[in-house]
Structure formats: structure tokens, C-alpha cells
Amino acid sequence: MIGGGQGAFIGAVHRIAAQLDNEYELVCGAFSSNPEKSKASGEVLGLSPERVYASYQELFEKEKQLPENERVQVISIVTPNHVHFEPSKLALESGFHVILDKPMTFSLEEALELREVVERTGNLFCLTHTYTGYPMVKEARQFVASGKLGNVRKVYVEYPQGWLSTFEEGGDNKQASWRTDPKQSGIAGAMGDIGTHAFNLAEYVSGLAVTKINADINVVVEGRRLDDDGAALLKFENGASGVLFATQVAAGEENNVKIRVYGEKGGLEWQQEDANTLRVKWLDRPMEIYRTGGGYLSSFAQHNTRTPAGHPEGYLEAFANLYRNFALCVKARINGEEPQPEWQDYPGIRDGVRGMAFIENVIASGQSDQKWIDFTI
């Protein structure tokens, strides 16, 4: 693991996600750019001191010299955005498979270069867009893909949070500080942090690519250096249209991501606060409530569920689904087997490139007087 030392929220989440299904063992790490902190974190995590490294460069260098059956196989990178590209590139080029936190890189340029590295090395790559790990989000995608709703006409996706409603920067709130700092986060704040999740969810569930965007991007809290709010009108490749909004100043909201997709014959709705439910609405018959664990669900939903119906699974399980599917694909690679389609359904380099393109396009649209801009990569 690169990054994720003591006090980092997402590092702990990655570790739980990795452990949950017993598919991974944490064997080495470079947990902080400060070697002392890295060492201390490694100790707390119970690692052998000789495999806690002072830098990611050292980690790759030393690990690749270990015998094949001892050395680390998968590298998790959970650093802030500006330290995504270099370690990912180096890890892939050192022969490791990579799991990387989103957004993928600091800029679209880096993203395109990383895509080249992934293609060149042939190593496996996963980007942790958590929300697509939920079984009912997978069901939603399968449902749309099945054609039961007819052609998609409308996509509404929203992601309201409230935790940046006041100026939190520079104080104890480390999360607030780095996520609003252009040097660490890049050109976008809310759009990069949560807008990319909303965008990814919209494309994942609808199965459609966004082609045009018309955005309003705002800095609501005085003194903030990056956007904390935004909304965009969207056009999709098949002519469908949509609305996306993401905000971190909806005071009182927690983390209320929601998507609705409507086709000619019906629609569906999923909301993270009721994550084990997928609402399917029909033009001329009663709404149906699909639930995690139901025997009637697709193999994709079933594969990503651990407990029987009525035992709620949540965010950590969704995160763990990414890790587990990636592990199954890594093992299949090692064993020279063909991975099942359900295993391969984790976000990868394509999602990462499109996510970074979303950031660049949505910010460009926000700054532009032009109504619609083409979604370009």
C-alpha cells in the first residue's frame, strides 16, 4: 500500500475492503512521504519492519527483487490526487497490478499517459469508483442493458453533500484542506471529488457515453480556492439527455448519491442511503422493489453479495467487491484462466480516463460562455 498512513480516511477503507473477503494480505507499505510516519503506521498495522519502506520507489525496487512467491502482487495507491500518476506508472512498469483511488490522476494528460502504460505493460488496473460496487447498482446496469426499459431517454444523477458548507480549510480538518487545495487536488474540487463519482455512475448504469456538457460551476463558500458546487446538463451518445449535480454545500446532507434512468417503458432509481433497494417503475404496472439477496436478481448482483436477503450490506462491502473482483481476475491471470464476466466488472483505465476528461470538460464548460461544449478526451 502506498499512502494511507494513520489518520487517513480512505486508506483504512481500502484495508478493510481488501481484508473483508480474505483475498488479500497486507505485506508491505510506504504509508507516508515522511519515513518516520510510514514506519509508525507499518508498526501499528503489524507489518514486518523490513517491508515498511521510506518511499514508494524503494518499495517497488526492493519488492521486485524478492522471490516471486514472496513479493507483493497488487499495489494499492491511496495518496492524494497529485501523487497518483507517478507511483501508478512505476508500479505497473515494475510488474505489479495496481488498485488506485479516484480521481485517477492530477490531469487528463497524466491519465492518457497512464492508459498507455497500462496497455503497454498489460498489467491489471482497478480504479475505486465505489458506487459501482454495490450489488443493486450492478443490477441497475444489467437491467438497462437487458432492454427491459426500452431506449434510455433521461438520466438524472445527483450527489449532494454538506460537509464543506463552512470554511474548514487550514484547520484540523485534513480532508477539507487537501481536497480544496489546487496543488493536491488539481483543477477541480467538488467536481473531482464527487462529480466524477456521479458521472461514472451515470455512464455505468445507462451504458451510454456523455457527448455534450453545459455546466454551471460555483465556489459558494467565500475564500475557497476550488469549486464546491456544480450542475451540468448532459447529452448522451444515443440522443438521451440528463442532469448531473454535485455539491458539498447542501447543508445537512450526508453523502446522498442517487441515480435515476428512464427509458421508453419504465425507469429505475437507486440511492445510496437505501443501498440494498432498486426501485423499478413501469409505465402501466406497479413499481417493483428489487432487493439485494433476491433470488430473482442477475448473476452480477448475486456474485457481489455475501449475506441473505434482509441483512443489509453497505459501503465497505461495495468497496470490497471491487477488491474481490480484482483479486479474482489477478488469480485467473496467474492461473492462466479466463476470468468470468462478473469478475471483470470493476472500474478500470477507461473509467479513469473518462473521469479525468469529465473534470476537464466540466470545468471548461463552467468557465465558458459557450452553451454546449463537446465532451472531448
Q: Give the shortest CB-90-to-a copy of itself separation in angstroms.
A: 27
Distance CA 215, CA 116 (A): 30
Q: Give the shortest CB-177-to-a copy of itself separation in angstroms.
A: 16
Q: Parallel, antiparallel, or unpaired for β 277-282 and 266-271?
A: antiparallel
Distance CA 28, CA 51 (A): 5
Q: Give the shortest CB-335-to-a copy of itself separation in angstroms.
A: 16
Q: Parallel, antiparallel, or unpaired for β 241-247 and 152-160?
A: parallel
**Number of residues in contact with a copy of itself, rule: CB under 8 A?**
86
* Contact range with a copy of itself by CB under 8 A, out of 98-106, 181-189, 308-316, 345-353: 308-316
Q: Give the shortest CB-198-to-a copy of itself separation in angstroms.
A: 13
List the grid coordinates of 250. 447542501
Eight-state DSSP code of residue 142: H
Nearer to a copy of itself, 110 or 317 (CB): 317
Distance CA 177, CA 223 (A): 12
* Contact range with a copy of itself by CB under 8 A, out of 31-39, 57-65, 310-318, 329-337: 310-318
CA nearest neighbour of 321 among 145, 139, 131: 131
Amino acid identity, position 18 = A
Tell me which of 62, 64, 148, 306 binds a copy of itself, using CB under 8 A: 306
Nearer to a copy of itself, 5 or 267 (CB): 267
Beta bridge partners of 278: 290
Interacting positions 153-212 with a copy of itself (CB under 8 A): 153-154, 156, 158, 160-163, 165-166
Nearer to a copy of itself, 124 or 280 (CB): 280
List the grid coordinates of 146. 437487458
Spell out where 111-257 has E strands: 125-127, 152-160, 210-218, 229-236, 241-247
**Binding flags for a copy of itself, 59-78, as an x/- string (CB under 8 A):** --------------------
**Binding flags for a copy of itself, 283-302, as an x/- string (CB under 8 A):** xxxxxxxxx-xxxx------
- Residue corresponding to grid cell 470554511: 167
Beta bridge partners of 218: 229
Interacting positions 332-361 with a copy of itself (CB under 8 A): none
Interacting positions 215-274 with a copy of itself (CB under 8 A): 216, 218, 220, 229, 231, 233, 241, 243, 245, 247, 249-256, 260, 262-267, 272-274
Nearer to a copy of itself, 89 or 260 (CB): 260
CA nearest neighbour of 261 among 134, 126, 188, 154: 154
Nearer to a copy of itself, 62 or 281 (CB): 281
Distance CA 304, CA 139 (A): 10
